[in-house]
Copies of this chain bind each other. A is one copy, B any other.
Amino acid sequence: FRQPFNLAKPCKRFVFYLHNVAYDGDNTDNATSAAIVNPLGLGDFSFGKFVIMDNPVTMDQNMLSEQVARVQGFFFYHGKTKYDTWLSWSVVFNSTQHKGALNIMGENAFMEPTRDLPVVGGTGDFVMTRGIATFMTDLVEGSKYFRVKMDIKLYECYY
């Protein structure tokens, strides 16, 4: 039987914020994500809307603070009776402190206060890593901006 890990003692942990500025056709300079497919009209909760993102990550809630990583990937809406999304993205580090990426995928019912998604793999400093990312929506400003707090706990670390 495999050596159990201790949920309370991740071998590595990151707590930081991703900032998403939706492209609205005019904000090319500031936009960090954009819908490549618009809602289908199946229900009233954006079913089918598919968003690609390349978002900055900072240690605090200020989008203009020093960028420590980027979140690159996609999410889409799949709820017919409530807002529900599914996502797959990478947290990509390129700083003096960390080099490499963490890959996260799964169900993100973002109306829930907290959501867990698995970290299914990594590269560089995070090669062969796995763990759990807990997402908490920190701020939503209509359809223009949202900020998500990510609490990433790794349970398999090799560096």
Contact = CB atoms under 8 A, between A and B. Distances in A.
Interface residues of A, number: 58
A121 B119 CA distance: 7
A72 B84 contact: yes
Interface in A92-109: 92, 100-101, 103, 105-107
A155 interface: yes
Contacts of A47: 34, 52
A105 B121 contact: yes
Interface string A121-159: 111100110111000000000000000000000011010
Contacts of A48: 34, 36, 52
Contacts of A28: 42-43, 80
Contacts of A103: 105-106, 118, 120
Contacts of A130: 121, 128
Given A40-B34, A88-B105, A90-B86, A123 B127 contact: no
Contact of A34 (B42, B131, B132, B158): B42
Interface of A: 1-5, 7, 23, 28, 31, 34, 36-37, 40, 42-43, 47-48, 50, 52-54, 72-74, 76-80, 84, 86, 88-90, 92, 100-101, 103, 105-107, 116-124, 127-128, 130-132, 155-156, 158
